[in-house]
Amino acid sequence: MVVAVYPGTFDPLTWGHMDIIERAVAVVDKLIVGIYENLAKRPIFSLEQRVRLVEEAVSGLPNVEVKSFKGLTVDFTHQVGGKVMIRGLRANSDFEREFEMALMNRKLAPDIELLCLMTSSQYQFLSSTLIKEVAQLGGCLEGMVPEHVAAALKERFSMPTKLATSKGKM
């Protein structure tokens, strides 16, 4: 049984993340979405909120679990019996960062394999950082995040209800 871990802060979860999750479950027996407690990134949602938002998004996928973790991702991967780490790539800048992390992880845990999936073209521009900026400025998030995530962002930034349906621009 191949157990994989897809780690990230998921602050917030985007359709790009979901694209990687849905494609990863097609090639592994069990996928654990690891929500990293990284306070250095100053998340807008608490760890518990992020876990809840991801759990709701993956509720229809039977071979996916959501767990939070602290510390090294390779240690978490070992703790949950993972043999593969899943990472999503959007652009060259992602590749450079992922390559550095992959080399470090290989040094720390040579038994864990890395599987990088290219994000589908319609989501390559998405990043949690951009989503937060658009949400904070009251822009339209349609097609960028699941509806329940858009609602949570609206509540977080106390935005008007039109957020998820308007055709506004950045």
Query: Which active-site residues does the annotation give?
Result: 17, 41, 90, 128
Own/partner pairs, 35-42, CB within 8 angstroms, 24+ separation: 35/8, 35/9, 35/10, 35/66, 35/67, 35/68, 35/69, 36/7, 36/8, 36/9, 36/68, 36/69, 36/70, 36/73, 37/68, 37/69, 37/70, 38/9, 41/9, 41/11
Identity of residue 23: R
Q: Are strands 64-69 and 30-36 parallel, antiparallel or unpaired?
A: parallel
- Helix spans in the chain (H): 15-24, 47-57, 73-79, 92-108, 128-136, 147-157
